[in-house]
Amino acid sequence: MIRHTVSFSLKHPKGSPEEEEFLNATLILKDIPGVQHFERLIQTSKKNKYHYGLSMEFSDRKAYDHYNSHPIHTTFLQRYWIPWVADFLETDYEPFHQ
Amino acid sequence: MIRHTVSFSLKHPKGSPEEEEFLNATLILKDIPGVQHFERLIQTSKKNKYHYGLSMEFSDRKAYDHYNSHPIHTTFLQRYWIPWVADFLETDYEPFHQ
């Protein structure tokens, strides 16, 4: 399992129509085959500068690679992510097996 | 629901006895009442400088506050976290409800 998450902030302010449009637009990523447990999140720690989060899980690296190169994903990046996101940090978690 | 996560790196190298001791020591945090879905994770994104992650969930802010001030947590911070962690980033996620 790979849990792919990204913390981010938008160029548009909280409560703006663009915030709503962006967060709604992320939902299309759920349609990419292999995406599991898709979540839209609000980042609330005061020790962290980002305002939002997305989280999804893939069963393996192949499914993750398929997501990354899928046209739905690449179109979303061009239309929304690149122009509207001010800053972000990607984090990928895999289970620790001792 | 609050998902409290922390990405971190250790002062000791991967594969060292201290890495094993530290990651084992984190398991005691599961014993604090209110801690749900505790996970030890490996951070694998090359776009992120941290090596490990811990994730846990609380039903509400009261349970989170209880965890933060619990003697098991504060003892872990003094014994392991503060002396052994090189760098970290805390991220708290709450569900986005539109």
Size of interface A-B (CB pairs under 8 A): 84
Given the cut 0.90, state whether the ipTM is greater than it: yes
pLDDT digits (tens, 9 = 90+) for A6-62: 999 999 999 999 999 999 999 999 999 999 999 999 999 999 999 999 999 999 999
For chain A, positions 9-38, list CB contacts with chain B under 8 A: 20, 23-24
Structural element, H or E, at residue B19: helix B17-25
B15: left (phi over 0), alpha (psi -120 to 50) or beta: left
Q: What is the pLDDT along chain B (98 residues), one digit of tens a residue?
A: 999 999 999 999 999 999 999 999 999 999 999 999 999 999 999 999 999 999 999 999 999 999 999 999 999 999 999 999 999 999 999 999 76
The full set of domains in chain A, from first to last, is 2-93 (3.30.70.100)
Gyration radius (Cα) of chain B, Å: 14
Cβ contact A68:B24 at 8 Å? no
Cβ contact A64:A35 at 8 Å? no
